Every structure is written in structure tokens, then in C-alpha cells.
Structure 1
Amino acid sequence: MGGQANISEFTDDTENPEEQGTVRLKHLARINPTKSELSDHDSETDVSFVPLEDFGTDGEIKDTETRPLEEVYDGYTYFREGDIAIAKITPSFENGKGAICRGLENGIGFGTTELHVLRPREGVSTGFLWYILRSKPFMDEAETAMRGVAGQQRVPTEFVENYTIQYPGHSEGHRIQTYLSEKEGRIDSAIQSLRSLLERIDEYSSATITDFIQNGYSAHKEPVSGLEEWLQCVPQSWDIVKLKYLADVQTGVTKGGYRQEKETVSVPYLRVANVQDGHLDLSNVKNIELPPSEVDNYLLEPGDILMNEGGDFDKLGRGTVWNGEINPCIHQNHVFAVRPKDQEHSEWISKLTESKPYKHYFKVNSKQSTNLASISATDIKELPIILPPEDERVDILNRLNSKESVLSSISDNAESMIDSLEKKRQALITAAVTGQIDVSDVKNEAKASHK
């Protein structure tokens, strides 16, 4: 059949257990349904394509692309409106990536092959099934069952099919979904408020150095955005020196560049994800193989200023000072290591790159494509550095560090609260789907819709 997709074509009349008892997931849902059911559809039918990064961790799809069916039919995973899709590969699975698929073009979607798709059978609550897949018992057992080499481990299809639960029956499953949706909504609202607070702190922190310099030392008090405008406002007693005269810029190792080498060593290396704005995230540092003779070319040294070459606009030029947290450690080619000739300049230069005028410099001097940007080592070297006399520079840094200490304390508390709420969410989900919470007084408003 050509033309538009019709969701009613996909009705599944399979009989399913309605009463409570031990049941495997494959009896509650079709696992990875075949795309052959689309064989009668016109090849030019518009469908949704969802990259893995656009699957959220909250049961929602963040964004989709519209493509013709013929473009995605081969080589991608098929799902339809109302299906549940979860990542099966590490670390996306552990991070909880997945969604209840809603709002698909013509009710049809495709995505990476690194997905498992579950289609709830008649009468089974989609929301209840989603919560089963987010519960701690399922997540823990799935991680144990993973197969494959390090970094490429996947949850096997047979594990999903044969995972057993104590099914409470259709009616109770809908009540559990209603109960958890309401409770989770409150938790999500609190988490969102805390994340908004963290965003405001980041914005305030970025503006602080600009304010200190402008309002503390410059006669010019009007707001500025561009670096060139800012340079005209700094006191005449300050020097303005291009970075290339103050530091060397070291480029990093290219991933996969030494695959043909017979003798290699494994060394920790920093990626863009490790280099945040004003701090490091070393929770997930990977290793890379390269010849022993090449290691010194990419080694990081204490006092190096790490700067991201690019990625999303918010990653462009962001960085911090490396203090030898891991030894030895190298960096990938998307992270520059700026090595000042005088380490007394490291913290100052790093703070400057966190300010709005310098972020503006990175953006206007970058090569840009849709939502992505990169800046070259040449443009980094041409970066104008404002350099106050030492006593003024030390005074500004001391005041900055004092204020940032307060902001850091607030951020740490907010992140701790988010972590506690995330743990509470999973504990609540686990308790509800395993029958530890009595939800019998919850009205099952969703029962009639069989969602």
C-alpha cells in the first residue's frame, strides 16, 4: 500500500496473561518487532529518524529528523508509535537512554541498531512496562548479562525476552503507572528547578571576571560583549599580548591514528567530555593505544591550560588548568594543551577564557556548521591576552576565587540534592513495580486507554 501509514494496521491480537503471576517480558511485549510489516508502504513515506543522542533518560524523545522510508529501511532499527525503545550498548544503557516513542511522523520511526524495541501487548500498560525497564533489578541484571569487548558491550535480546517479573495484572499495572507518573512528576519538577539554578550559577560565574575587571579597574562601565570592545576598555597600564608570545599550543593524539602499529602502550587520555568550563570531569577517563615513542608528544604537564577545539557551541574553547590529576595522561586532538612559559599566567589565562568576551572571540573565529563549531590552533595562538600588573592580577584572582568558592558550595549542594532525588526516583520505581508499595487506592484513569 502506498501513501500514509495507518497505525490501526499494526493491531496485535496476541493473547496475553491478564492475571498476576510470574511472566517473561516476551509475553508482555513483542521484542524487536520485524520491519516487514511495512512492506506495503510507499518507499517515499515520511518517517521519523531518531539518533541515539536524541533519546532522553526521562522516557521522551528530544528531537527527530524526517526522512523517506527508503532511506532508513535498511541498516536501522524500526519502531512505531507507542513502542518502547531502550539503548542496549554501554554506556548509553547504564545512562538510561530510551523513550516511549511518541509523535513519530506517520507513526513510524527508525534509529540506531543499538536499540531494543518493546511493543506492549494488548492490555499491558506502556508506562508500567517502561518503569520495569528503568527499575534497579532490571538494570542490574541486564548489566551483568552484557556481552562483548570492553566499551562495546550490549544487552542480549534473549535476556530482554526471558527477563521475568511478578506481573500484577493489567488493572494493577495501570494503577502503578498512574501512581508513578504522579510521583515522578514531582521529582522531575524539583530536579528541573535545581538544574535551572546550576545554569544560572554557570552564567553568573562566567560574567564575574568581566564585572570585576570592568567595574573594578576600568573607567568604562557600560556592558560589552565582544573582545575587541572589551580590550578598548581596560586600563592603559595593562598589557595586551597575543597568546603565542606567552605560551605554546600543543595539539593532541588522533583516535585510531596508530591502529597499524605493532608495539603500543595504553595511556589515559582526556576527551572533550572530560574538559568542562572551569573544571574537569574525570569520572570516565578512557585509555588509548599508541607507540611508546609517541607518548611524550602528547603528555600533559601541571600548569597546562586545557581548551576544547570545538563541538557544540557551548564546548567551544571551554577549559581549565591541568594540575597533574592523572600521571601520565595525554589529550586527544580535539583538546588543546596551552603551556604558558610562565606558570604564574596559567590560572589568569584560564579565567579569561571563561569570560563572555573571550567566549565571543572563540565563536566569531570558529568554523561553523549546523550546531557545531571548531577553532584552529592558529586562532588560539592569536588570542589577545589582557595582562594586568602582577599585584592587580593577584587581587582579581583572589576576589574571583573567594566568590567562586561560595558558588561552588551552592553548586555542590544542588548536585548532591539532584543525586539524592535521582536515587529516590529509582527506589520508588523499583518498590512500586515489585509490589512493595500498595497503590490499590489509586484510580486507574488510564485503564480505558490501554496506554
Structure 2
Amino acid sequence: MTDTNSCEIRDLDIVLNLKDEIMEYFNKKTDYKQPNWIKTTLGKCFRLINGRAYSQVEMLNSGTPIIRIQNLHGSEKWYYSDLQLPEDQYCDKGDLLFAWSATFGPFIWNGTKSIYHYHIWKVEPTPAIDKKFAYYLLTNITTSIKAASHGISMLHMTKEGMEKWEVDIPPLPEQKRIAAILEKCDRLRRTRRYSLQLSETFLQSVFLEMFGDPVTNPMGWFIKNLDDVADIASGVTKGQKFNGKQTVQVPYMRVANVQDGYLDLTDIKLIEALPQEVEQLKLQKGDILMTEGGDYDKLGRGAIWHGQIENCIHQNHIFRVRTNRKIILPEFFAKLLLTQYTKLYFLQCSKQTTNLATINMTQLKALPVPLPPLPLQEKFAQIVQKHERFRTQQREAERQAEHLFQTLLYRAFRGELTSSDSNELDISALSAENHPQQPKPKSTDKPENLPIPATQPQINALQLTLPGLE
């Protein structure tokens, strides 16, 4: 690796040109909603095709893949079907989908020919609507659609409600121009996101190389229970009775703050506690916070506390682990928590109910912890610190790219990216009472470059380098 502290992006010149292009559009004196935009409804812009509901016996281990909402968000758990369905019940690579229940939003399908589930619509734009523009239009209104949805246990939007949703649509050439601008910015946003995701795997690779897989312990490290090498404490109980005793309000860490490998400090709440509780439970730099469970993905996840907030404590659904640094460093233990070794241990000993799993203090204390030599842990801790500085820069770059995209998206659908000389185009099809249901033409063209998962060449274009790790 080269001695740099950067994430190199092959198309950096495109990114820089994009910034100038965006500022050029922002500085134009344009009217809100140009006169050639028309107000219409989604039902006149798209054909929304319902997916099919499946019984458990119809969901097989082989056949045609069934796309569920979980799969759109990256789940690798798939079901299949051997049913022969009408052609419009299938989706092909490049088709536009919209999840309308629980988790909302548009997606561009990038897989093989598949069946889409009941909670997903296939969206077929009319000839007057550009597909890329349709994707960004739906992206822009998704939050409002979710806010207007129905249901208690599971929010959903009805097809009728979706078809009646009012939108402003520019002529087709202007749609293409707006979509092209948004796509450039979206590509930057996704590149930043992929680089951050790619760097997540770096430390785990270093961990395995330095210490071996803890499941098999190939280096023969001595093993002790966690209770022998760390002090473990539960936290304060929310809503307890104080019977008139003097209390104070202090910030505290909730389950939502403790993610898998990092702390999410965007939403910090206060809790009432006794002064002696605060003194006893006050977090110290280097403490590791761990969740006792809940959903399976919350079981035993943890991260290091770096002293970001003064006088902060933690609630009773979180364990605080304070390691004996003469034996085990917090940087080593925190990365051990990310391995399959600890995840399998917690899963096997946890108390499980439907979709829920929890561990208790006794089980956590009994966690077998491999203990490599302290100098080797110290070397790993130095790598962790350099990597975290690098990741901080990546997160800020991702935040800026996300802000830029959301700002541009907002202004695009206010008509503020519309030039005064946009070509007029007859889009009377949008005003028709009935949606023309034309057969979908077969095409051998490659799918358009829409927001889809990164390909291997895109991943290879990202070179993650850290000083001192060559």
C-alpha cells in the first residue's frame, strides 16, 4: 500500500466538475415550477402492477426467485417458486419497483428474472415519463408517502392512494436533463457509501491475520472467561421511583445508540438518576458498551466509548465492559465482538422467543476470551486508531455527498434546475383519463446506469490506504 491517507476515486475529475455544474444551476435565476410543467397524478404517469401473495407451502428452495422487501434491502435469505404466472408478474433486470409497506421506496432491480412479492409494485412509466426521472421522482416523495400511509402494526400505502398522488411533471427532454444531473450526484453519493462499506472489512481482515480465527484458535492463545479480565456492569433503570430523593438529569446511552462496531450519537436523550448512580455508572474512555439483545441483530453487539459526552451513563439494557488493560485492550475486545466466534456464542446461550433473543450478565461473564500477548494487541490498537481517523474522514465525505444529493433532489422537483429555454413537448398522455397499457417491448440493450449495487470494477476502482500498514 502507498503511504497516503485517502480514498482514491478514479473519476475524481467528474466529481469536481459536478460541483461546478451544480453551483451553476443553483445560481440561475429560475422561476419556481416553470410554465411548461403540468400538475397530474401518479396514476397518469405510471402503471402500478401488484405483486402476488404466497403461502408458506408455495415458497420453495429452488425455482424462480421471489423478491421480498427484505431482499431489496440486501437480505440473502431467498425463497423460490415453480408457479407459471402472467408475464407482468415477473420483473427483469432494470425494472423499476416500489416497496409500499413497512419499508417504503423505489428500487431498480439488478438481478435475474424474478417474481416480486405482494408488498411490492412494479412501476411501468408511460411513454411520456423517463424511467430515470421516475426513480428520482419517487425517491423525492417517498417520505411524504410514508407519512400519509395507513396501518398500526405495519404501515402501507394503498394503490388507489398512490395513483391519486399529485405531482408536477416537466416535458420529457427536461426530465432527462434533471435525471442526468441527479444521477451524477447520486453516483458520487453511492461511491462514498461503497468506499465506507469496503473499509469496514479491513480491520476484520487484519484481526484474522494477526490473531487467527478465534473459532479454531490456530495460534493456541490462552483463554479466560470475560469476568476474569474485565469489570462488567449493567445500567440505570428507566422510570424508577425515587420517593422524593434528590436526582439529576444526565445523558445516557440507549440500545439505539449502540450499533455493531460503532456508536450512533445523533440522538442523545436524558434520564433522571440519583447522584450516586451517576458517579457509579459514569462511562470512562475505553469502556465497551454492549446490548443485551432484542432483535437478533442487536444480540451482543458493541462498540468502544471514546468519552464523546461528559457525565454520560447507560441504561440497564446495555452492559458496560471495562477491560483490565494489563491483560486485554478494549480495541482487541471490541473487534472480537464483530467475529462469528462471539456472535455464535451469544446466539447459542441466549434466551430466544419469536424474533427475539437476549443474554444475561451471567452468560456475558462466561464468554471465553482468547488472550494474545499484550504487545501484539498494542500493535493492533495502533492500526485501529489510524483506521478510525481514516473512517472519520470517510464518514464526513459521505455526509457531505448525501447532503449535496438531498439538496439537489429538493431543488430539482421545485423546478429550480429548469432552464428557461426547455423544449416544449406534447405530454398530453398524462392528461388522459385512462392509462394506456402498452405491451412492454423486448430489448437486448444493456440496463441503464441507475442506482444499483456496485459492480466489481467499481469496487476495484477504490483503493483504501492507511499509513504504516503497507
- Using the size of structure 2 for normalisation, the TM-score is 0.53
Alignment partner of 1:374 is 2:358 = yes
Name the counterpart of 1:330: 313
User: Aligned in 2, Cα 1:399/1:175: closer, same or farther, shift over 3 Å?
Assistant: closer
SS of corresponding position for 1:256? coil
CA distance in structure 2 between the aligned counterparts of 1:354 and 1:327, rounded to whole angstroms? 27
Q: Check whether the contact 2:196–2:391 (CA below 8 A) recurs between aligned residues.
A: no
CA distance in structure 2 between the aligned counterparts of 1:262 and 1:437, rounded to whole angstroms? 68
Residues 293-308 of structure 1: matches in 2 within 5 Å?
A: 293-308=276-291
Alignment partner of 1:266 is 2:249 = yes
Alignment partner of 1:315 is 2:304 = no
Name the counterpart of 1:126: 166
1:59: how far off? 10
Deviations 1:162-184 (A, max 9, x none): xxxxxxxxx76999888767765
Alignment partner of 1:390 is 2:388 = no
Residues 211-230 of structure 1: matches in 2 within 5 Å?
A: 211-214=209-212, 227=214, 229-230=215-216
Name the counterpart of 1:429: 413
Alignment partner of 1:340 is 2:381 = no
Q: Check whether the contact 1:340–1:346 (CA below 8 A) recurs between aligned residues.
A: yes
CA distance in structure 1 between the aligned counterparts of 2:312 and 2:101, rounded to whole angstroms? 28
User: Aligned in 2, Cα 1:184/1:360: closer, same or farther, shift over 3 Å?
Assistant: farther
1:381: how far off? 0.8
Deviations 1:63-93 (A, max 9, x none): 998xxxxxxxxxxxxxxxxxxxxxxxxxxxx
Q: Check whether the contact 2:329–2:378 (CA below 8 A) recurs between aligned residues.
A: no
1:269: how far off? 0.5
Name the counterpart of 2:145: 99
More moved, 409-418 vs 268-277: 409-418
Alignment partner of 1:359 is 2:343 = yes
User: Aligned in 2, Cα 1:359/1:256: closer, same or farther, shift over 3 Å?
Assistant: same
1:390: how far off? 2.1
1:251: how far off? 0.7
**Which of 199, 204, 219 in structure 2 is aligned with 1:234?**
219
Name the counterpart of 1:279: 262
CA distance in structure 1 between the aligned counterparts of 2:216 and 2:233, rounded to whole angstroms? 27
CA distance in structure 2 between the aligned counterparts of 1:56 and 1:332, rounded to whole angstroms? 31
User: Aligned in 2, Cα 1:429/1:58: closer, same or farther, shift over 3 Å?
Assistant: farther
Q: Check whether the contact 1:55–1:97 (CA below 8 A) recurs between aligned residues.
A: no
Letter in 2 for 1:230: T
Alignment partner of 1:246 is 2:229 = yes
Q: Which consecutive residues of structure 1, in runs of 5 or more, have no partner in the other structure? A: 1-19, 30-51, 66-94, 103-107, 129-170, 215-223
Q: Check whether the contact 2:101–2:154 (CA below 8 A) recurs between aligned residues.
A: no
User: Aligned in 2, Cα 1:401/1:425: closer, same or farther, shift over 3 Å?
Assistant: same
Q: Check whether the contact 1:242–1:384 (CA below 8 A) recurs between aligned residues.
A: yes
SS of corresponding position for 2:335? helix
SS of corresponding position for 1:110? coil
CA distance in structure 1 between the aligned counterparts of 2:362 and 2:334, rounded to whole angstroms? 18
Which fold has the larger relative contact order, with Cα–Cα distance below 8 Å and residues 6 or more apart in sequence?
A: 2
Alignment partner of 1:110 is 2:151 = yes
CA distance in structure 2 between the aligned counterparts of 1:283 and 1:392, rounded to whole angstroms? 34
1:412: how far off? 4.3
SS of corresponding position for 2:262? coil
CA distance in structure 2 between the aligned counterparts of 1:114 and 1:365, rounded to whole angstroms? 34
Name the counterpart of 1:139: none
- Identity of matched residues, %: 29
CA distance in structure 2 between the aligned counterparts of 1:175 and 1:101, rounded to whole angstroms? 31
Residues 125-274 of structure 1: matches in 2 within 5 Å?
A: 126-128=166-168, 188=186, 191-192=189-190, 194-214=192-212, 227=214, 229-231=215-217, 233-235=218-220, 238-258=221-241, 263-274=246-257
More moved, 381-390 vs 369-378: 369-378
Q: Check whether the contact 1:278–1:319 (CA below 8 A) recurs between aligned residues.
A: yes
User: Aligned in 2, Cα 1:395/1:407: closer, same or farther, shift over 3 Å?
Assistant: same
CA distance in structure 2 between the aligned counterparts of 1:382 and 1:301, rounded to whole angstroms? 23
Q: Check whether the contact 1:55–1:98 (CA below 8 A) recurs between aligned residues.
A: no
User: Aligned in 2, Cα 1:323/1:193: closer, same or farther, shift over 3 Å?
Assistant: closer
Q: Check whether the contact 2:300–2:337 (CA below 8 A) recurs between aligned residues.
A: yes
Aligned residues: 319
Residues 79-90 of structure 1: matches in 2 within 5 Å?
A: none
